[in-house]
Structure 1
């Protein structure tokens, strides 16, 4: 039998804050949205969530400490009737940590589904996941994109009832229309009675005696739909956007699920991203590096005029504030980092060769370390003065 403390990797005397921290760390690792639908990760996520739901509650924790798992499972962990399923685990995670796997721009599963205490229920439609590739330009400015996806919609032939010829669904004979079964279990501590989702009707409380031929009793068929996605500026590939109530319709009249749009930022051949800062390599000529110049630095939206100081070294960077990626919350913007690359001519002309021969005769030896500023190692100022003279004479 499971030891909830071992499941979360905490000591039996762990504080509520330690329990919460341990659960959050492990739940983020095994969250279904970060594991591409892995059944193993989903099962582990449910185990973690069940353990946390018990240990976070002082009364249930005390009962677990005294009687073990049997002392709490009959009471329905977390107040969920009918067992602890993946939807319960996801809702609980959202309740305490607000937003799925840590990168949601909106709630992962919208308003969520709380299973009612008794009574049949219409099952919510499954969440649909789609991937939306974005360019760096769209990340910087934000974008409105339209996507075509295939969804499960209400069956036109039976109007979503799942029954042929308008026949009404019949109450489930297993659960009597409640959607739940009462299961008695015996243990060394006595008999426990738990409620679980009816195995015959999947908790809907009804059964279809004459299923619709078009949807085979599901009440839904697949069709193509177009959705619009508003992407705010400043997103990363770790973010997702949830379109609540726009996913698959539930079986036989159940509410729609959600659409989760996973954002995928494409690599840009010009810029690399460091948080909200953008880094770009800017080639300059040797003469520009020696003498200084006014250069144009490419940005995502437009070019920026920058004064290149004389004597700049290859690899040094110039920071242009406020020209990077906007903050996702709209409260600022990163910087554009221009990394200078001094370009060396591969095939210098005879005039250039002569000029560099003159320069070689007057230059000082290269410093053993990078100069710290305009007046670096001894003799550097005199060297640069002579270089300028050579280029301007």
Structure 2
């Protein structure tokens, strides 16, 4: 076997950097893609093997002490790895160029009305898509991949090494084809041999009713396309619901506050409100109190799982007039005199305004 230093054309005391430079220079001259001759292919094998030995400090030390390089003595740890680990034993075969694409996460803001009824969105995203020139083949149209001349399509380089148990065959990924078993003589110029390119695409999605902030929707196969036309990853949509000035949400119910004039609270009235469903009639019964909750059934949030909708719950806030003229004040005094009402006093805490409003909204 030729001396590894002579094969690379370097001195025995050459630095690691000098060895790397020599290998790169020779590899460019002898690579099968550049020099297809049989002699060049054989020399390229020798150059690659010499570099594998001399670029590894441990193998180089063993070689300098008289080992054959690539046939060095193994310790117990190396023996264990050879028989039970990744470096040795029978070759596993070439690996596939195709890889699954990465998943992607996109945050989407929607309105509260979209939560009630659901919404369709066409989302523009920047992602990896299949190359439309080579269709994921990674090669220029009309060309194909070629079997690696070094590993002959196995994706592995096998060597015989000496160990305490005798000669053992080891396998490592081919440094020429990087374990694929094939090389690409003419890579696609559109995708640089990757089989995919970056582009903007439109993803149509139906966001169901009943979603809430923080919920993630999974769109299978809508993420990045994999290398060499591999399967696409998934796209996840993280929902954020925008604040609404009038309505808020409690579970499947919608909550709102209704300001009622004192006269309407006393006499009662029927009003038309602008809800998320459009106009809706609401009857305010005579004698309604602040913190009373009026319910409009079936006008709340559509349930995400299961049928039906929640309710629209309207909390009443009775407004006391603050600017009265003389005649109005006199009428209020006459009204108060006829009522003979008790003077103001503390109410029981559990029936207080704030507790009452909270409990009725939450259905306690």
- Separation in structure 2 between the aligned mates of residue 258 and residue 180 of structure 1, nearest angstrom: 32
2:252 corresponds in structure 1 to 276
The answer to whether 1:332 aligns with 2:316 is: no
The answer to whether 1:153 aligns with 2:129 is: yes
**Cα deviation digits, residues 105-141 of structure 1 (max 9, x gap):** xxxxxxxxxxxx9763421122222222211111111
The answer to whether 1:365 aligns with 2:331 is: no
Q: Is the 8 A contact 1:297 1:338 kept in 2?
A: no
Query: Residue 113 of structure 2 is aligned with which of 104, 129, 137?
Result: 137
2:192 corresponds in structure 1 to 216
Q: Is the 8 A contact 1:282 1:297 kept in 2?
A: no
**Cα deviation digits, residues 333-362 of structure 1 (max 9, x gap):** 111110001122343344333333334544
**Cα deviation digits, residues 157-183 of structure 1 (max 9, x gap):** 44333335655335579997677999x
1:12 corresponds in structure 2 to none
Secondary structure at the aligned position of 1:216 is classed as: coil
Query: Residue 292 of structure 1 is aligned with which of 268, 272, 275?
Result: 268
Query: Residue 204 of structure 2 is aligned with which of 222, 228, 232?
Result: 228
TM-score normalised over the length of structure 1: 0.53
Cα gap change, 1:371 to 1:151, in 2 (>3 Å): closer
> What is the CA distance between 1:314 and its match in structure 2?
1.1
Secondary structure at the aligned position of 2:206 is classed as: strand
Alignment of 1:70-85 (within 5 A): none
The answer to whether 1:120 aligns with 2:98 is: no
Alignment of 1:49-128 (within 5 A): 120-121=95-96, 122-128=98-104
Which stretch shows the higher mean deviation, 317-326 or 200-209?
Answer: 200-209
1:347 corresponds in structure 2 to 323
2:221 corresponds in structure 1 to 245
Which structure 2 segments of 5+ residues have no match? 1-82, 87-91, 159-170, 352-364
**Cα deviation digits, residues 285-315 of structure 1 (max 9, x gap):** 1112222222334431123323323322212
Which structure 1 segments of 5+ residues have no match? 1-73, 82-116, 183-194, 374-393
Cα gap change, 1:256 to 1:290, in 2 (>3 Å): same
1:317 corresponds in structure 2 to 293
Cα gap change, 1:177 to 1:369, in 2 (>3 Å): farther
1:255 corresponds in structure 2 to 231
Which stretch shows the higher mean deviation, 158-167 or 133-142?
Answer: 158-167
Cα gap change, 1:181 to 1:297, in 2 (>3 Å): farther
Query: Residue 169 of structure 1 is aligned with which of 140, 145, 149?
Result: 145
Number of equivalent positions: 250
Q: Is the 8 A contact 1:158 1:166 kept in 2?
A: no
Q: Is the 8 A contact 1:120 1:180 kept in 2?
A: no
Secondary structure at the aligned position of 2:107 is classed as: strand
Which stretch shows the higher mean deviation, 359-368 or 304-313?
Answer: 359-368
- Separation in structure 2 between the aligned mates of residue 368 and residue 179 of structure 1, nearest angstrom: 87
Secondary structure at the aligned position of 1:268 is classed as: coil
Which stretch shows the higher mean deviation, 198-207 or 221-230?
Answer: 198-207
1:113 corresponds in structure 2 to none
Secondary structure at the aligned position of 2:190 is classed as: coil
TM-score normalised over the length of structure 2: 0.57
